[in-house]
């Protein structure tokens, strides 16, 4: 089987952008190749056209293009023609695309299309309680209606997306993101920086970072030596129009808390894993997510995680067993969970061990890839 993956991000030095979604795509692509499948990745909105090979995956970088008018339409038709040429020439059996911004809207592709719910603009706007631009909704719905089937990384994400766009839930298959577990080993889970909290992700309102600032204010009152480390790029704030969400965090942090916050910005992926290992507690108080790769990566490295309690997170963590769940707006409860872990080393180690077992049973990429192959084949057989 030859599988084509359409994406705007992929982890490679020549690709202009890569985040958690990119990691999940690469994990799947490489594992599919290792299982004997052929995989071609189409990465759009790049700086130039180029074809590269990486770990058996053939990657087509497709440059951004501007047109004198209706660029949103003519660039999609450019992508359509480029992809279809490769589909026919190399006999691609199935294509997969993301739901974000409906990139496949107005495309007529020459292979069955499955759309994976990495998180549409409509989905995030609903969770954020924000108004979506009508144009974006039209693009996303148009793209979804052209697809043969859908994959959701969590049942929650699938159900919410189905409600928003009026999709038939029988056409949605839940298949989690997966991890290459041999890349996430922690030989010394009992060694870490005491009372250090780690957050990884874009510094943006929807990730719950403003609530995290309030949570840390509470923690620092009880644990004056606590430290908060932040990893990720800063972003403008959609609600206030502020250029920096990190600056908004600074406005929320108490004078005591500010002294114990370390913002590392964007750092290499390999260094992120080291930072996870060094953390005492990892925390992800997101208000809008489909799954959250950094959560399962932290769990795989045997870290106690305090995560949001919203829908998708309940499919990752069994509260009190392999992590804690608390709503980010419940500042007292959330901070109490962190302080409890700070003061119970045995609990941290036990929770970390259970977290690893959960990831091994639920998020092993080898098992996940088999589920994807089976689902792809079922779609192809209906062609």
Give the model confidence (pLDDT) of 56-66 as tens digits.
Answer: 999 999 999 99
Answer for the pair 222, 338: CB distance below 8 angstroms, yes or no: no
Residues 377 and 281 in one domain: no
C-alpha 313/C-alpha 176 separation (Å) is 12
Number of domains in the chain: 2
| Model pLDDT for residues 24-55, shown as the tens digit of each residue | 999 999 999 999 999 999 999 999 999 999 99
Residues 150 and 190 in one domain: no
Residues 144 and 190 in one domain: no
**Confidence bin at 201 (pLDDT 50/70/90):** very high
Residues 319 and 372 in one domain: no
Residues 138 and 246 in one domain: no
119-124 contact pairs (CB < 8 A, 24+):
119/21, 119/157, 119/288, 119/289, 119/290, 120/161, 120/164, 122/161, 122/164, 122/165, 123/99, 123/157, 123/160, 123/161, 123/164, 123/288, 123/290, 124/206, 124/288
Residues 257 and 306 in one domain: yes
- The CATH number assigned to the domain holding 234 equals 3.40.50.2000
Residues 335 and 216 in one domain: yes
Residue 16 has pLDDT above 80, yes or no: no
Provide the pairing of β-strand 57-63 with 50-54.
Answer: antiparallel
Counting residues of the chain whose pLDDT is more than 90, the rounded percentage is 88
**Confidence bin at 269 (pLDDT 50/70/90):** confident
**Confidence bin at 14 (pLDDT 50/70/90):** confident
Question: Residues 119-131: what's their mean pLDDT?
Answer: 90
Residues 157 and 289 in one domain: no
| Model pLDDT for residues 239-248, shown as the tens digit of each residue | 899 999 999 9
DSSP 94-158: EEEEE-GGGTTTT---SS-EEEE-S--HHHHHHHHT-PPPHHHHHHHHHHHHH-SEEEESSHHHH
Domain with 186, as residue range(s), is 181-362
pTM of the model: 0.91
Residues 99 and 33 in one domain: yes
**Confidence bin at 98 (pLDDT 50/70/90):** very high
Question: Residues 319-344: what's their mean pLDDT?
Answer: 97
Residues 148 and 195 in one domain: no
Residues 145 and 194 in one domain: no
What per-residue confidence (pLDDT) applies to 383? 61
Residues 240 and 186 in one domain: yes
**Confidence bin at 193 (pLDDT 50/70/90):** very high
């Amino acid at each position: 089987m030859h599988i084509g993956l359409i994406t705007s991000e992929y982890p490679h030095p020549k690709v202009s952008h890569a985040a958690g979604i990119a990691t999940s795509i690469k994990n799947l692509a490489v594992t599919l190749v290792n299982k004997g499948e052929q995989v071609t990745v189409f990465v759009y909105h790049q700086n130039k056209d180029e074809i590269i090979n990486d770990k058996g995956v053939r990657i087509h970088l497709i440059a951004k293009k501007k047109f004198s008018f209706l660029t949103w339409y003519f660039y999609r038709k450019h992508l359509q023609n480029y992809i279809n040429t490769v589909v026919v020439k190399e006999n691609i059996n199935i294509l997969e695309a993301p739901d974000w911004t409906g990139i496949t809207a107005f495309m007529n592709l020459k292979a069955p299309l499955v759309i994976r719910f990495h998180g549409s603009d409509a989905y995030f706007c609903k969770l954020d309680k924000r108004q979506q631009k009508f144009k974006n909704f039209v693009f996303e719905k148009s793209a979804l209606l052209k697809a043969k089937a859908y994959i959701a990384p969590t049942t929650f994400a699938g159900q919410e997306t189905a409600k928003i766009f009026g999709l038939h839930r029988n056409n949605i298959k839940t298949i989690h993101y997966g991890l290459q577990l041999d890349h996430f080993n922690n030989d010394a889970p009992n060694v870490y920086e005491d009372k250090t909290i780690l957050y990884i992700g874009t510094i943006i309102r929807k990730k719950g970072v403003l609530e995290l600032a309030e949570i840390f204010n509470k923690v620092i009152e009880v644990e004056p030596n606590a430290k908060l480390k932040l990893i990720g790029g800063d972003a403008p704030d959609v609600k206030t129009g502020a250029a920096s969400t990190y600056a908004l965090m600074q406005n929320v942090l108490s004078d005591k808390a500010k002294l114990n916050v370390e913002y590392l910005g964007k750092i290499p992926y390999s260094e992120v894993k080291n930072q996870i290992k060094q953390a005492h507690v990892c925390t992800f108080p997101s208000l809008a997510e489909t799954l959250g790769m950094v959560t399962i990566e932290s769990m795989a490295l045997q870290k106690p995680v305090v995560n949001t309690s919203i829908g998708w997170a309940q499919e990752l963590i069994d509260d009190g067993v392999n992590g804690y769940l608390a709503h980010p707006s419940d500042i007292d409860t959330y901070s109490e969970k962190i302080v409890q872990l700070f003061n119970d080393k045995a609990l941290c180690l036990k929770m970390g061990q259970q977290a690893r077992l959960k990831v091994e049973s639920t998020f092993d990429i080898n098992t996940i890839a088999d589920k994807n192959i089976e689902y792809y084949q079922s779609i192809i057989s209906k062609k």
